Structure 1
Amino acid sequence: MKPTRHARDARHRFPAEVISHAIWLYFRFPLSLRMGEEMLAARGIKVSHETVRQWALKFGQSFATQIRRRLPATADKWHLDEVAIGIAGKKQWLWRAVDQNGVVLDVLVQSRRDAKAAKRLLRKPLKRQCRSPRVMITDKLPSCGAAKREIMPAVEHRQHKRLNNRAENSHQSTRRRERIMKRFKSARQAQRFLSVHDQVANLFLRPANTNAADHRQSRARAFQAWTEITGAATVAWSSLEPGSAYPSSIT
């Protein structure tokens, strides 16, 4: 296989196939950097966990932006929820907006749980989607109601804890990553990581109530989109001999 060289990879020792695969592993699955390093080593790719971290920092947000542009229009029912996360010994609030299909519209790490914080969250998906939802669903937090009345007064608002399971379930993957990473080190790191993590999850989201054949087709389209976004060719990993396709080490 002839490795692909993209302009953005010109100064990197490894080609786009390896970089995109490492980033996909890190953001798609609840893996630590060292776990990702071992999984790449099993493919004959000797790369340090620090290099994977640097790749994620350099390319992750760019990939997430392109994924966001490719996703279809969101559904007309939005779920908003917030959950407490501990960062550097302080309580922070992770706000998340999700549509009825489980697609994450936006995520925002904030130090507050008031109406100002809720308005900041609402403005971000409104700006990106360029339209208001038909229905907004939240728990009984008064801040959400106050923000909705100011920003989207005509939108129907339903407040009930059990109706908001879609948003609450969306926090589960963050909790798993938080445990693997032994908590986020700062609010900035959490925001940067989750902004990419949620968009990668959106791309590979399995539609509800689909059979196996439909799921495989959906997954194939997601992989095709990923290769186009990252500029990498499809790699037949099973056909590669360890260490034969790529440089054997990197510092």
Structure 2
Amino acid sequence: MARRRRVASVRPDQSFKGRQFTAEVILWAVRWYLMFPVSYRDLELMLADRSVEIAHTTIFRWVQTYAREIEKRIRPHLRSSNGSWRVDETYVRVKGRWSYLYRAVDSRGQTIDFLLSAERDVEAAKCFFRKALGQPHTVNPRTITVDKNPAYPCAVEQMKEDGELWRRSRLRQCKYLNNIVEQDHRRVKRLVRPGLGFGSFHTARRTLAGYEAMAMIRKGQVRKVGGRDMRAQATFIAELF
């Protein structure tokens, strides 16, 4: 007898109450938008090709509602990162202006955390480090590798004095050691490009959270879910709801 293929299914969840489409369709659309460099209009046509007639504006609302929720729900399932942090910031256009996306990965390229900020200063750096240290899958870093941004030494020193950061954490300002995180920025840039930027800070934060969540899954950071196993990833996301 042929083995029955496992199909992702979603239990009834209040998160989908009142929606015209099923949870499976909604999560399929959200997951594909956050994984691949497509526009909302492109995804509208892809769904139409599968006999699902839906406006691109509705897909936008789905992404805004569920992208951040997926990111929140996967956090407890992530493997622990190591103590070698590579920190950098890249630029994202929000409402016609450049904003700063702080990002950190460990020495294996696993995502530690991210933060969208309107400023690039000491307070923004401290806010990012606090957010990263508060995640369940991170540890207090033994080394923090950054570029020549002068805000990082000040932020690290102040956080050590306040007891927020391990006193033995070593800061390294060495650009070539940050190639890992700089290469990782390319994925975010590729996903943002079809949308030509974001219309608001709120929209950007929610969408970027979804991009980063799907990146963590595809990097194999979720326990018992392979980074290249698309079926297992779809099932995992369905079981979060």
Shorter-normalised TM-score: what interval? Answer: 0.7 to 0.9
Q: Hey, what does 1:61 align to over in structure 2?
A: 68
**1:200 partner amino acid:** M
Q: TM-score scaled to structure 2, two decimals? A: 0.83
Question: 1:154-233 alignment to 2 at 5 Å?
Answer: 154-205=168-219, 216=228, 219-230=230-241
The equivalent of 1:23 in structure 2 is: 30
Q: Give the structure 2 partner of residue 6 of structure 1.
A: 12
Matched residues in 1 for 2:69 and 2:99: separation? Answer: 26
TM superposition shift of 1:187:
2.4
Q: Which runs of 5+ in 2 are unaligned?
A: 1-6, 160-164
Judging changes above 3 Å, is the alpha-carbon distance between structure 1 residues 128 and 10 closer, same or farther for their aligned structure 2 residues?
A: same
Change (3 A) 1:173 1:161: same
Aligned partner letter, 1:22: A
Residue 235 of structure 1 corresponds to: none
Work out which of the residue numbers 27, 31, 43 in structure 2 matches 1:36.
43
What is the Cα deviation at residue 4 of structure 1?
A: 5.4
CA-to-aligned-CA distance 1:67-104 (integer Å, 9 cap, x gap):
12211111221111012333333332221122223232
Structure 1 residue 134, shift from structure 2 partner: 1.9
Aligned partner of residue 199 in structure 2, secondary structure: coil
Q: Which segments of 5 or more consecutive residues in structure 1 lack a partner in the other structure?
A: 208-213, 231-251
* Alignment partner of 1:132 is 2:146: no
SS of residue matched to 2:99: strand
1:181-211 superposed Cα distances (whole Å, 9 cap, x missing partner): 011222222222111210111012258xxxx
CA distance in 1, matches of 2:83, 2:91: 27
Residue 5 of structure 1 deviates from its aligned partner by 5.7
What is the match of residue 3 of structure 2?
none
| Whole-angstrom CA distance in 2 between matches of 1:220 and 1:101 | 24
What residue is the counterpart of 2:153 in the other structure?
A: 145
- Name the CA shift for 1:77/1:26 in 2 (closer, same or farther; >3 Å): same
Q: Which moved more, 1:125-134 or 1:179-188?
A: 125-134
CA distance in 2, matches of 1:63, 1:215: 17
Q: Does 84-93 or 6-15 show the bigger shift?
A: 84-93
The aligned residue for residue 82 of structure 1 is 89
Displacement of 1:215 after TM fit?
6.0
TM-score calculated relative to the size of structure 1: 0.80
Deviations 1:33-86 (A, max 9, x none): 111111111212111111111111222211111112211111221111012333
* Inter-CA distance 225–61: structure 2 relative to 1 (3 Å threshold): same
1:96 aligns with 2:103: yes
Number of equivalent positions = 222
17 and 89 in structure 1: CA distance in 2 versus 1, 3 angstrom threshold: closer
Question: What's the secondary structure of 2:178's corresponding residue?
Answer: helix
Q: Distance in 2 between matches of 1:196 and 1:169?
A: 19
